[in-house]
Amino acid sequence: MGEVGVGGSSGTVKVTFLGTGTSFGIPVVGCDCSTCTSADPHDKRSQHGAVVTFDDGARLLVDTPPELRLQLVQNSIDRVDAVWYTHLHADHVHGIDDLRAFTVRGAPPFPAYVPHGEQASLEQRFAYIFDQSIQPPRGTSKPTIELHGIRPDEPVEILGRSFMPVTVPHGPVTVYGFRVGPLGYVTDGKRLPDAALATLRGVRVLVLNALWFGNPHPTHFNVEEAVEAARVVGAERTFLTHLTHRVRHEELAARLPPGVEAAFDGLTVELDEEER
């Protein structure tokens, strides 16, 4: 684990990277490559997830990966207040049952923000949660979650702050990143359309996905594409996440230009909450 800062300490927002890997995670099952067998803890990457913590203690969870429980325990996070779903691919959603640890404590329904039009898909895939005719047997429990739709280019208030959706293409899927104050967060994107660039310009910290060097992927940035996107946005610091086992942390850190860094599981980045 590690912590880095941007700016002063008055009115801060923190980003904790729970998982910085792709759907395979690292080590990949059955793989004996140099990354999967590395002794460097930075090369152990679980599936994508993050927590954004504001100066009043409010916490937003970004996605619910299948390894969520382990990630939260490892980072000593005992409470989150809402979740933002970037999209509904399995590695970003299938840890949804781990929200039960929060809702069984008698709190009101947990707010989950989902791309507009995808609520029905989530309700169908997890009918035991959302179908009120399905009640857990006495003495057992299920998560209690309230879904809210997110629309492109329409700000939404979450935890007392204005979040602006940042929509990016991911093959046939539209992924919903966001900007909140000085932070821009985009995962699983292939490019930044003009509207996304307009929303992200002026952020101080930018999070982008990047798989590997070279060999362009049809639905994700590679490292070179992410670096170029970061240059266009112009953030003070950009952190790359959603990384594969085809690049080791040490190599990535050595080859990135100034202002672009490799995120790793457990990294916390702190910045002023005020926009510049």
**How far is it, in rounded angstroms, from Cα 121 to Cα 114?**
10
Q: Hey, what domains does the chain have and what are their CATH numbers?
A: 2-272 (3.60.15.10)
pLDDT by residue for the chain (276 residues), tens only, comes to 566 555 444 578 999 999 999 999 999 999 999 999 999 999 999 999 999 999 999 999 999 999 999 999 999 999 999 999 999 999 999 999 999 999 888 678 999 999 999 999 999 999 999 999 999 898 889 999 999 999 999 999 999 999 999 999 999 999 999 999 999 999 999 999 999 999 999 999 999 999 999 999 999 999 999 999 999 999 999 999 999 999 999 999 999 999 999 999 999 999 987 655
| 3-class DSSP state of 71 | helix
pLDDT value of position 8 = 43
Distances (CA, A) of 171 to 189, 207, 218, 239: 8, 20, 7, 22
Report residue 171: phi and psi, to 5°. 65, -135
Per DSSP, which regions of 33-132 are E strands? Answer: 49-54, 59-62, 82-84, 110-115
Look-up of token digits 């989150």: 80
Q: Output phi, psi for 105, to 5 deg.
A: -85, 5
Contact between 8 and 272 under an 8 Å Cβ cutoff? The reply is yes
Amino acid at 2: G
pLDDT number for residue 5: 57
Q: Give the CA dihedral 95, 99, 101, 105, nearest 10 degrees.
A: -170
Cα-only R_g, the chain? 18
Encoded tokens for 199: 């929303």
Phi/psi of residue 85, each to 5°?
-95, 120
Q: What is the largest CA-CA distance in the chain?
A: 57
Contact by Cβ (8 Å): 223, 212: yes
Question: 23 CB contacts (<8 Å, ≥6 apart)?
Answer: 47, 89, 90, 91
- Determine the pLDDT at residue 256: 98
Cα-based angle 149, 217, 33 (whole degrees, multiple of 5):
110
pLDDT at 212: 95
pLDDT score of 3:
61
Given this model, what pLDDT does residue 139 score? 87
Q: What is the pLDDT of residue 9?
A: 41
